[in-house]
Structure 1
Amino acid sequence: MARETWGTRIGFILAAVGSAIGLGNIWRFPFQVSQEGGAAFMVMYLAFVLLIGFPAMLAEFVVGRKTELNAVGGIREFAGGMWSYLGGLFVFIGFVILSYYSVIGGWVLRYVVGSFTGGYVGTTAEGAPVAQQYFGQISTGMDTLLFHAIFMAIVIGVVAVGVKQGIELAVKVMVPAIFLIFGILAVYAFTLGGAGQAYAYYLSPDLGYILANWKSLVPAAAGQGFFTLSLGMGVMITYASYLDSDENLALDGVSIVALNTGISIITGLIVFPILFTAGIDPATSGPGALFVSIASALGDLPFGRGVGFLFFLTVFIAALSSAISLIEVVVSYAIDEFQIDRIKATSVAGIAIFLLGAPVTTDLVFVDLYDIFAAQILLVLGGVLLMISITWVNADQAVEELQKGIGDLGALGTLWIWMVRIPVVVVLLISLYLGITGYIEFLQGPFAEYLASL
């Protein structure tokens, strides 16, 4: 069957930005900042995105456009040999991430509804925030499983339509909407009483903290960088496979990285003023507590319910745009390798992902079990193996492909190759080691406690 392509260049950029801008920016980024020292994490994250993430993104673009194949077929054709199995890892990563991502997408959908009904506003008779009780009700149980299914059904519906009429059309609406709404919310947050204190926490790094806590900051920044840029999971290979050969990959990469990083920074400029104005310590705002903290704070702010609706609606749009890209990795593999009809491939993949995520609806410990494993181990492992396969196995072909649409890069091409070969690979290996040791600690600590309680 004929392979689909993007209708326009802006369609590709918005799709890639839509993949990058998602729960990783709006759900995961603020609690990573909170848990890893505020501005100290920001410094490490920005350094990782610019020095590691951007060169790595170009490498994924090269494979996708050169081969015009999905992640599995593309790596098999580009590098060959044992590297053929690397694409299978990317498909698996997409499965794992979307399985729990969809559950959180269901949470967000419930908060959109709660903004209309006022379900998370106010305090209980005991004086506790209603938001805490609300999150407890919507984060686990049969209702959670139902909204997990609803979210996956929406994702399946968009991707089943196709690249141009489904994915591209959707992101042309969703991505501009994210920037518009978040721009309005950032201006609103600037007017709040706690904005000055929030900006100091968020934008003034403590060098001493960075030096003392680099062992936790490095894997956290690496995982967050790869998560938010959709690297190490085959998304950018898949999306680039629909590109024409005259596209300027470097310019596209700069656009995607800049827009993605911008929305992460704006998210902090919204979230932290809201938390500080309400007197809530960001350090207590973990994966689930972030929902509780923001919802509690909004209840006490002027126009809080309306702001809450806009905020959670934008989070839902962002979650949907990223979920679309994750399932497309799996779908394009099924279409290219087995000539399966797109509707059938999307439906089967969506149902399988839904089933894999079902345990996450039973207890919050599974969010960490899946998320740490995916973001700090699988993504980084996939990234380091891909970088080695591209720049050590087939460097000449990689530079040749990158130059299409740009012109002769000369020494810059060599610099890019060696940047990926040494600094990128070394940092990723260190991050992988620290991520594995951290995951072992989680398994021996919180997860072991959960198992003992059964």
Structure 2
Amino acid sequence: MSSIDIPREQWATRAGFILAAVGSAVGLGNIWRFPFLTAESGGAIFVLVYLLLVALIGLPVMLVEFVIGRRSERNPIGAFRRLGHPSWRFAGAIGAFAGFVILSYYSVVGGWVLQYIVASFSGGYGGDAELFFVETASGTNAIVSHAAFMGLVAGIVALGVREGLERAAKVMVPSVIVLLVILAGYGATLPNASTGYQFYLNPDVSTFASDAVSILPAAAGQAFFTLSLGMGVMITYSSYLGEDRDLLNDSIIIVVIDTFIAILAGLVVFPFLASQGVDLETGGGGAGAVFISLATAFESMPAGHLVGGLFFIMLAIAALSSAFSILEVVVSFVTDTFDVDRVPATIGLAAVIFVVGIPTATDLNYLDAYDLFANNILLIVGGLLLSIFIGWVYAPDALEELGQGRGGNGLFDTYWITVVRVVVPLVLLYTVYLAVVEYIEFLQGTFF
């Protein structure tokens, strides 16, 4: 018998669900990817566009996923069969595939973080932060640490929703926030911190027109990545919810906390970089930016190894909290659809994802290729298709589901379905077009 007929496990508490969803959103996307994208994309103007997209697009799409997940009580692919529209399974499959690709290289970066924790407490980064990063980011060291990180992620997911995901989130998310606040407070005391704040918080709106082609896809991809949208995570997590939960309130809390942590991460990174005289517009970009530039900064600070150790511990916790949510998506699909127990499904899928990620552990160009394809294209396409489904195919039922837990629909619900039906598809269609053009140019310039 297919396990699709087995009663679904549920979150033990509302706080557990919210912290798990926040933990999924709060990860390397906030603390690793957000700062280097900000540096590459014009600083504060990128931050402004990102915040607008989070509010105008991110929140409505999160509600789209919450409605699908709770209504169906299934994974992103099985959800559409349960909703009576099996022909739309491809929309969920794109998201699940995106998460699969993302976790394959995300785990590699998580492995870097584990190596940096050890280095922080065992003598530093060898006096040459760039050389240390090269040795860390590719080759045998990267493959071994990639395996170690995936092993930790698989261990948490194998324990299940309450004992694994919920219990881990209740410890990890508050820990990340506390450590970030401590580091941000320390960063404010550093010399030249104001230069970092200026770059990060003072947007030059006049530059947007000329840079929109690169800023919009990057900001949209980051908004979806950091909120765990378009990859099926929020569908999966909400499938474990009861009907008494207010989806709107929960989604607002998750978006606000996640955005706060993303902004807080920048208040840590940019003062640290500015205090060491790093050129924020050139030295802050690239996948290795946080590692190279911050390792250099930590080497020069009083008690820098301790500060660095705390930073990378916080980054590891954040990375794990996101990674186990992504793995849960594909594990949920297998356990929902086939007669396979959670533990062997988790181990098998983690092994496959590890193998897929090996190229990114040997060449950073592959990591960039995976990242641009999954984040700037697949996530946006996934969100676009889910929004079209809810807005044009499933709207009456979606509104009914959104009203559960609040005693019916209100003014916001009408606004939401209008935005999902019209605004979200138009913005995301244009964003996908820009992203595909950019990705073709990247492939031509890098591999051909």
TM-score w.r.t. the length of structure 1 is 0.96
Q: CA RMSD in A?
A: 1.0
- 1:396-434 Cα offsets, whole Å, 9 max, x none, are 000100001123323322211011111111111111000
Of the three residues 12, 16, 37, the one matched with 1:11 is: 16
User: Equivalent residue for 2:307?
Assistant: 307
CA contact under 8 A between 1:189 and 1:270: conserved in structure 2?
Answer: yes
Letter in 2 for 1:273: P
Of the three residues 143, 152, 155, the one matched with 1:154 is: 152
> How many Å separate the matches in 2 of 1:200 and 1:255?
28
User: Equivalent residue for 2:212?
Assistant: 214
User: Match of 1:231, SS?
Assistant: coil
User: Match of 2:447, SS?
Assistant: helix
> How many Å separate the matches in 2 of 1:169 and 1:231?
22
How far apart are residue 233 of structure 1 and its match?
Answer: 0.4
Write the mapping of 1:19-418 to structure 2, written as runs, cut at 5 A: 19-78=24-83, 80-120=85-125, 122=127, 130-282=128-280, 283-285=282-284, 286-418=286-418
Letter in 1 for 2:109: I
**Cα pair distance change 1:8/1:440, threshold 3 Å:** same
- 1:259-283 Cα offsets, whole Å, 9 max, x none, are 1001110010000000000001123
> How many Å separate the matches in 1 of 2:126 and 2:300?
8
User: Match of 1:246, SS?
Assistant: coil
How far apart are residue 77 of structure 1 and its match?
Answer: 2.6
User: Equivalent residue for 1:443?
Assistant: 443
> How many Å separate the matches in 1 of 2:447 and 2:407?
52
Q: How many residues are paired up?
A: 441
Name whichever of 409-418 and 360-369 sits farther off: 409-418
Unaligned runs of 5+ in 2: 1-5
Letter in 1 for 2:71: K
> How many Å separate the matches in 2 of 1:20 and 1:167?
13
Identity level (%): 52
> How many Å separate the matches in 1 of 2:337 and 2:393?
24
> How many Å separate the matches in 2 of 1:440 and 1:284?
25
User: Equivalent residue for 1:452?
Assistant: none
> How many Å separate the matches in 1 of 2:368 and 2:432?
17
Letter in 1 for 2:361: T
- 1:361-386 Cα offsets, whole Å, 9 max, x none, are 11110110100000001000111001
User: Equivalent residue for 2:3?
Assistant: none
Letter in 1 for 2:344: K
User: Match of 2:77, SS?
Assistant: helix
TM-score w.r.t. the length of structure 2 is 0.97
> How many Å separate the matches in 2 of 1:152 and 1:6?
24
> How many Å separate the matches in 2 of 1:343 and 1:287?
33
- 1:232-265 Cα offsets, whole Å, 9 max, x none, are 0000000000000010111100110011001110
User: Equivalent residue for 1:126?
Assistant: none
> How many Å separate the matches in 1 of 2:447 and 2:230?
26
User: Equivalent residue for 2:7?
Assistant: 2
User: Match of 2:242, SS?
Assistant: coil
User: Match of 2:11, SS?
Assistant: coil
> How many Å separate the matches in 1 of 2:118 and 2:222?
28
How far apart are residue 2 of structure 1 and its match?
Answer: 3.2
Letter in 2 for 1:206: D
Letter in 2 for 1:356: V
User: Match of 2:190, SS?
Assistant: coil
- 1:197-254 Cα offsets, whole Å, 9 max, x none, are 1111110000111122111111011000000000000000000000000101111001
> How many Å separate the matches in 1 of 2:54 and 2:83?
25
Letter in 2 for 1:326: I
Name whichever of 72-81 and 209-218 sits farther off: 72-81
> How many Å separate the matches in 1 of 2:380 and 2:296?
35
CA contact under 8 A between 1:174 and 1:317: conserved in structure 2?
Answer: yes
How far apart are residue 81 of structure 1 and its match?
Answer: 4.4
How far apart are residue 75 of structure 1 and its match?
Answer: 2.6
**Cα pair distance change 1:353/1:250, threshold 3 Å:** same
How far apart are residue 79 of structure 1 and its match?
Answer: 5.8
How far apart are residue 41 of structure 1 and its match?
Answer: 0.2
